[in-house]
A and B are shown apart, each in its own frame.
Chain A
Amino acid sequence: MCLAYPGKVVKIDGNDGEVDFGGFTKKVNLMLMPEIKIGDYVLVHAGFAISKTTEEDAIETLTALKEIRDAFYEERREIHKEGV
């Protein structure tokens, strides 16, 4: 549950940011990282940027985590579809 995904900050508007996770972007709350700048790499957990990281980390981690995520989250996506 403590997984965090690295991505690149591409937009900042107050506490609202947009982070590029290697192809798709998502809205991310930047409230916990007030010092963040456009172009920084961050770890995102539960919709919040929680820490800075490096570009290398972003590439390597996203590849590694994909396998785990795909395996375990399929069922969850099913639930999610009928959920919200």
Chain B
Amino acid sequence: MTENPIKKAIERCVELLPDGKRWQVMEVCGTHTMSIARMGIRTILGEKLRLVSGPGCPVCVTSEGDIVRSIHLAGLPGVIVTTFGDMMRVPGGGKSLFDAKAGGADVRIIYSPTDSLKIAEDNPDKQVVFLAVGFETTIPSIAATVELAGKRNLSNFSILPMMKLVPPALRLLCEHPELAIDGFILPGHVSTIIGHQPYRFIVEDFGIPSVITGFTDRDIADGLLRMSAMLASGAARLENSYARAVPEDGNSSARALMEQVFEPANAYWRGVGELAASGLNCRNEYARFDARTHFELPDGEPPEPPGCLCGAVILGKVLPTDCPQFGKSCAPENPLGPCMVSSEGACAAYHKYGFSDEK
């Protein structure tokens, strides 16, 4: 545990919560998963409050089919694939983008999606495809990139849309009969874009208290304290513990650009399957920037790696330590599923920060 006041705050959470029940709170965001593991919070919480990780890592929820399509694209002649680094080692169909690159494919890790435009301009005889993964935090920057490509009339740039929207996944979690989640720690940076409104149903329709939470140790302690206080009093409110960065209305300019470029589409989530209107596709005016209009890609959804419980981990049904492969046949050096690859995957976080205290 890091600082004392934070430890005190977490201990206070345990004091506040009524006995006789094992409370279950989901931290939806992968960055929270990482911080909570690093801070050793689960040890202090003990049996009374169980923190489960949710579908908050865009790479982890990317479907097996999308990974296979990404790797296929990288292998096509004349194609440069650009991607966020997190995607590189995710296995799909027995290999990864990293393997494809080692085998001669031109795969480039970028920091901003707009870096792809420069690569496209510098390589007019190649097709540059950006692997568009991300939640609402990232989607506006992808929309901006597509818009800029349109303005610059780039004919050798496109994206493979694999973007996911957080609220439809939250609805699924609320409705799920097996999950019984008592509260949600909501993702701070997704909220900077979408604001409060898309979360209201959690409180209004399902009566589940929720706290928009930031990322410092103090933020996380504050989010958990507010959560424990609500659980103790039986109140179900949407609270914002990260108001310094999350205005109630979010970022309306960013949302306007998202809506200009993309329209809702069904999307396939790992471990979940297809969720209606939980992803985005390019609108007609931008359809030429959808890689699927230029390349023939393998369709369908191949089965997820045998023995990997990522799907159940993503939904908080099991802890990473419940997976028989965990730390044995699956470790960061030889990952079986994306939850062990991504820096924000629950399996990677548990593996890195110790797991003896997690049960």
Which residues of A are interface residues toward B (Cβ below 8 A)? 1-4, 6, 29, 31-35, 43, 45-48, 50-54, 56-57, 60-61, 64-65, 67-68, 71-73, 76, 79-80, 83-84
Closest to B193 in A: A50
Give the chain A neighbours of B237 by CB distance below 8 A: none
Q: What 1/0 mask marks residues of chain B from 127 to 143 whose CB sits below 8 Å from any chain A CB? A: 00000011101101100
B residues 306-359 with Cβ under 8 Å of A? Answer: 342-344, 352
The smallest C-beta distance from B328 to any residue of chain A, in angstroms, reads 21
The smallest C-beta distance from B38 to any residue of chain A, in angstroms, reads 7
The smallest C-beta distance from A26 to any residue of chain B, in angstroms, reads 9
Q: What 1/0 mask marks residues of chain B from 85 to 99 whose CB sits below 8 Å from any chain A CB? A: 110100000000010
The smallest C-beta distance from A53 to any residue of chain B, in angstroms, reads 4
Asked whether A50 lies within 8 Å of B109 as measured between CB atoms, the reply is no
Known: A2-B137, A67-B38. A50 touches B192 (CB 8 A): yes
**Which of B56, B107, B244 has the largest number of chain A CB atoms within 10 A?**
B244
Size of the B side of the interface (Cβ < 8 Å), in residues, is 55
Bound-state Cα–Cα, A76 to B107, Å? 14
Asked whether A50 lies within 8 Å of B215 as measured between CB atoms, the reply is no
Asked whether A72 lies within 8 Å of B343 as measured between CB atoms, the reply is yes
Known: A1-B59, A50-B137. A29 touches B108 (CB 8 A): no
Stretch in contact with the other chain, from B40-48, B66-74, B246-254, B261-269: B246-254
Known: A2-B135, A84-B108. A64 touches B215 (CB 8 A): yes
Asked whether A32 lies within 8 Å of B59 as measured between CB atoms, the reply is no
Bound-state Cα–Cα, A56 to B140, Å? 26
Asked whether B254 lies within 8 Å of A32 as measured between CB atoms, the reply is yes
The smallest C-beta distance from B253 to any residue of chain A, in angstroms, reads 6
Give the chain B neighbours of A4 by CB distance below 8 A: 137, 189, 192
Known: A46-B111, A46-B141, A68-B35. A3 touches B189 (CB 8 A): yes
Asked whether A71 lies within 8 Å of B352 as measured between CB atoms, the reply is yes
Bound-state Cα–Cα, A73 to B86, Å? 10
Asked whether A31 lies within 8 Å of B144 as measured between CB atoms, the reply is yes
Bound-state Cα–Cα, A53 to B187, Å? 16
| Other-chain contact of A68, B34, B110, B246 (Cβ < 8 Å) | B34
22 cross-chain CB contacts under 8 A: A1-B57, A2-B138, A2-B189, A32-B251, A32-B253, A32-B254, A32-B257, A46-B111, A47-B114, A47-B115, A48-B140, A50-B140, A50-B141, A50-B254, A52-B245, A64-B217, A67-B38, A72-B352, A83-B108, A83-B109, A84-B108, A84-B115
